[in-house]
Amino acid sequence: MNVYDPLRDYLKAQKRAEFVLSFEEIEEIIDAALPRAAHRASWWETLRSPQEKMPQREACLEAGYIATRQADGKSVKFKKMPQDRRRPRERGDP
């Protein structure tokens, strides 16, 4: 089990297209402290380096959300991805 699985499950249960969670709220969801790196915007950016697999990014993507750290440096905006971008197509898919 990945420490970010509870975040993935929380996001999957959401009906809202867009919302913000504070770092404290995320830590409550995952029942663990976020690393210091979480304060960097690049740690959350799901579309910046898709080849770089990171568990927190994967959790968001699996739930169908794009995560963006907010300018306040203490919260993250989650925005539902368009339906056609949720599952990356594999080579050879029609």
Q: Distance between CA atoms of 66 and 11, rounded to whole angstroms?
A: 10
Give the sign of the dihedral formed by CA 56, CA 15, CA 89, CA 41.
negative
Position 88 in a domain = no
Position 91 in a domain = no
**pLDDT tens column, 13-64:** 999 999 999 999 999 999 999 999 999 998 988 666 656 678 999 999 999 9
Position 17 in a domain = yes
Q: Which residue has the tokens 């898709």?
A: 50
Question: Is residue 85 very low, low, confident or very high in pLDDT (cuts 50, 70, 90)?
Answer: low
Number of domains in the chain: 1
Position 64 in a domain = yes
Q: What does the DSSP 8-state code read for residue 58?
A: H
Position 90 in a domain = no
Q: Which residue has the higher pLDDT, 51 or 68?
A: 68
Position 26 in a domain = yes
- Quote the domain boundaries for residue 64: 5-82
